[in-house]
Structure 1
Amino acid sequence: MSGKDRQKQLAREHYERQTQRRLEREAKSKRNAIIGTSVAAVVVVGGVIAATTLLGGSDTTATATSEPAPSPSSSVSEAAGPAPTAFDPAAGTCGYAAAPDGAVKNVGLPPAKVDKSPKKMTIETNLGDIVIEVSAEKTPCTVNSFAHLAQKKYFNGSKCHRLGSDQFPMLQCGDPLAKADGKNPTDGQGGPGYRFVNENLEGAKYTRGVAAMANSGPDTNGSQFFLVYGDTQLPADYTPFGTVTKGLEILDKVNKAGFIPPGDGGTGAPKETVEIKDVTMSSKS
Structure 2
Amino acid sequence: MASSRDRQRKLARARIERRLVNRAKKIRRKRQVQAGIGAVVALLVVALGTVWLAGGFDKKPDTPPNVVAGDCAWTLRTPDEATGIRDTGNPPITPAAKAGTRTMTIATNVGQIDASLDLDAAPCTAESFAYLAGKNFFDNTTCHRLSTNDFVLHCGDPVGKGTGGPSYTFIDENLPAASAASPSASPAATNHYPAGTIAMANPGANGSQFLIFYKDGSALPPNYSIAGKVTKGLDVVEKVAKDGALDGEGKATSDGAPKTNVTITKLTVGDAPVASPSATPQSSATTTASAQ
Residue correspondence of structure 1 range 181-192 to structure 2 within 5 A? 187-192=161-166
Q: Secondary structure at the match of 2:167?
A: strand
Say if 2:107 is the partner of 1:124.
Answer: yes
Q: Match for 1:228: what amino acid?
A: F
Say which SS state the counterpart of residue 268 (structure 2) adopts. strand
**What CA distance in whole angstroms lies between the structure 1 residues aligned with 2:68 and 2:212?**
24
Query: Residue 208 of structure 1 aligns with which residue?
Result: 195
Q: In the aligned structure 2, how far is the partner of 1:240 from the partner of 1:84?
A: 22
Matches within 5 A, 1:152-163: 152-163=135-146
Decide whether aligned partners of structure 1 residues 266 and 258 sit closer, same or farther in structure 2, where only a CA change above 3 A counts.
closer
Match of 1:221 among 206, 209, 231: 206
Inter-partner Cα distance in structure 2 for 1:202 and 1:273: 30
Q: How many residues align?
A: 188
What amino acid is the match of 1:225? F
1:158-212 Cα offsets, whole Å, 9 max, x none, are: 00000011x321000011122xxxxxxxx11111010001011141711211000
Matched, 1:172 2:154: yes
* Matched letter for residue 249 of structure 1: D
The Cα shift of 1:82 comes to 3.8
Residue 114 (1) aligns with residue 95 (2)? yes
Structure 2 CA distance for aligned equivalents of residues 242 and 202 of structure 1 = 12
Amino acid of the residue matched to residue 195 of structure 1?
Answer: T
The normalised TM-score by structure 2 is 0.60
CA contact under 8 A between 2:68 and 2:93: conserved in structure 1?
Answer: no
Which has the higher mean CA deviation after the structures are superposed, 121-130 or 143-152?
121-130
Q: What secondary structure does 1:134 align onto?
A: strand
Partner of 1:97: 75
Deviation at 1:249, TM superposition (A): 0.6
Task: State the SS of the aligned residue for 2:255.
Answer: coil
Alignment counterpart, residue 197 of structure 1, candidates 171, 192, 195: 171
Match of 1:277, as an amino acid?
T
Shift of the alpha carbon at 1:99? 2.3
The AA in structure 2 aligned to 1:241 is A
Counterparts of 2:172 and 2:266, CA distance in 1: 25
1:257 to 243, 253, 256: 243
State the one-letter code of the partner of 1:130.
I
| 1:147 matched to 2:130 | yes
Question: 1:229 touches 1:248 (CA, 8 Å); kept in 2?
Answer: yes
Amino acid at match of 1:214: A
Partner secondary structure for residue 125 of structure 2: helix
TM-score of the aligned structures, taking structure 1 as reference length: 0.61
- Contact 2:79-2:87 at 8 Å conserved across structures: no
- Which one has a bigger Cα radius of gyration? 2
Q: Is the 8 A contact 1:199 1:239 kept in 2?
A: yes
What one-letter code is carried by the residue in structure 1 that aligns with 2:146? Answer: L
Identity of aligned residues (%): 39
Indicate the SS of the match to 1:192.
Answer: coil
CA RMSD of aligned residues (A): 2.3
Cα deviation digits, residues 8-67 of structure 1 (max 9, x gap): xxxxxxxxxxxxxxxxxxxxxxxxxxxxxxxxxxxxxxxxxxxxxxxxxxxxxxxxxxxx
Contact 1:95 1:196 in 2 (8 A): yes
Describe the superposition over 1:48-107 as per-residue Cα deviations: whole angstroms up to 9, x where unpaired. xxxxxxxxxxxxxxxxxxxxxxxxxxxxxxxx974576xx6xxxx211110256563222
**Which residue number corresponds to residue 181 of structure 2?**
none
Query: Is the contact made by 2:79 and 2:86 (CA closer than 8 Å) also made in structure 1?
Result: no
In structure 2, the partner of 1:270 is: 258
Partner residue in 1 for 2:227: 241
Flag the 1:254–1:81 CA change in 2: closer, same or farther, 3 A: farther
